[in-house]
Structure 1
Amino acid sequence: MEDLKKDKEELYVLRKNTFFKVLRFLIWSMLCFFFIKGVIVSIRPDPTAKVNGIINDFKANLNTYQNQNQEILGFAQNFVTEYMTYKAGEEFEYVDRLKPYVTDTIINAAYRFPQGSKAKVLYAGAYKQTQYSPTQYDVWVMTTVSYSSKTISEDGIASETETEDTVVLKVPVSVDKNKYIVEDYPAFVSDDQKAFYEKQLYTGKESTAEIKNAVELALSNFFKAYYESDQSVIDYYLSPDADPSKFIGLQGRISLEKIEELRVYYSNENSTTDFLALVTLSIKDKNNAIITQHYHLKIIYKDKQYYVVDMDVRNTNLK
């Protein structure tokens, strides 16, 4: 009997020890798991930080790219200004002006301008570039040049002739370590930048003649204020929903001549107080030259008065 009791106690102790061993194993396993996971999380980069890093790198690269593009365009533009400006008898000075921009091929060329001739760049603008290779670009520069030449008639009378011409030059630019050089002679090219444009007239429900006449009177007063008066007068004709920053007046630098043409439409089929006005204006500059302007305006009728809500250029191909 005592042996049986002793065997039961030993079995109980054995089971108890086994239970605690398994429990300790599970606890240590969990501790190891959480420890290893913590180490991995601490080592692994934060996804948010990684995304922010990618965005910041992109912004930096984009900024560098944009800055370099502007520098290349500016470099080519400045070069063309010097390249197309010359005067007979000042060939050495001409070469000195080109030296900061070009290779020896261009510097060592023999320049000889016709006697009595000179040219001066009135305007130069670099407007396009294409990449020829990772370090080479072609830059298009449009320039207006004033040409002057002297001639002597058979009876010995000297006269000077002046002309202006606009030309486009394609300039080959090479880049090395954020520095630039014109690597070969610029070429005179033809570059038609004019896009195809199909005019689309606005169609909609036109207002009555009575409304049109009232809108025309309101717009005459508004444009008179817009071109010639103080800001407080302009604001009087604006709707409370209008953005005042779009209506900064010209304070007399331009004057209104008259409204040449006006078409007024309801903003939609069911509208009775909202309108679209298409306006052709005549204005005068400081020399009293007559200049045409086109606007489309959103108009609202409120409290027995027509107010301007919005205004933008063009009166065809409206969105």
Structure 2
Amino acid sequence: MKPFNLIKTKDPKDAVSQKKEQVQYIAGGTNLVDLMKKNIQLPDTLLDITDALSRQVDNQGRAIQIGAMTRNATVATNVMILRDFPLIAKAVLAGASPQIRNMASTAGNLLQRTRCPYFYDVTTACNKRKPGSGCSAYDGHNRMSAVVGYSADCVAVHPSDLCVGLVALNAKVHITGKDQKESVIPFQEFHRLPGNTPHLDNNLPEHALITSIEVPENLFGKNCAYLKIRDRDSYAFALVSVAAALHLDGDRIIEARLASGGVAHKPWRWLQAEQFLKGKRATASTFGEAAKLVVKDLKPLTHNGFKIDMLRGAVETALGQCLLD
């Protein structure tokens, strides 16, 4: 690992002012340290911001505010989240291991890099590591890769489970910029598709700092599910995952939310299927038709065609599990 300096700050304004090209923020370090060990990121200085930002989950009336430094384990066990936003807790508990959840921060979860094996292998071409070098996964071993929204420049998928739950619930990302101005990015617009700039994972302005995540009040607390299909039960990234939530009046669907991980470069909302479900009866037949809409335009790569049937079944199952809560 390349030698580096470590400095600390307790002031978010100071953190933003100190951020430069070779100065990298560090919080839990659960992803960044791996990248440094692999010589993928080589900062001269790490700026520890763990004491600069909130670690609290606060009730804001018609929303909750999750501080940027709130540990994933805290999010998964918070009383307000378990009562009113259980989909978030379910998503967090599907990810990583207890040890990593104890260290990983909420903001860090949003900013984690792809887990594509070619990205981690510095002997291979990867446009995310070195723009313009090529995508080894496109014609390579792409079993874990995207089936929607990808480009010839990148077929990697976003690895977070928490982000799938947050995009389903229309969360918002609060940030502070280099000019010290506060602003908000809708969660659905925070992460990017690869296009011809796959090295840019998100729309966070350069040197800006995430301060909190806002999740608006909703009526999905009683009927929601998070289903993750992976190669092993513990500490594995999703082949496909589904966050499903229903607002019901009897057996009638007033509103639905569907999102997935393991399918695209960003957490993916199935908006057409959500619209289809609205006003329908919550039945296995209805869920089956919604699942068909989800997979109808997928474009699998050489080695991940199995994701079509897997995702269709996962959507049906997750929607069915919403009725069990």
Q: What's the TM-score bracket when you normalise by the shorter of the two chains?
A: under 0.3
- Structure of larger gyration radius: 1
User: If the length of structure 1 is used for normalisation, what is the TM-score?
Assistant: 0.20
Ranked by relative contact order (alpha carbons within 8 Å, sequence separation 6 or more), the top structure is: 2
The structure richer in helix per residue is: 1
User: If the length of structure 2 is used for normalisation, what is the TM-score?
Assistant: 0.20
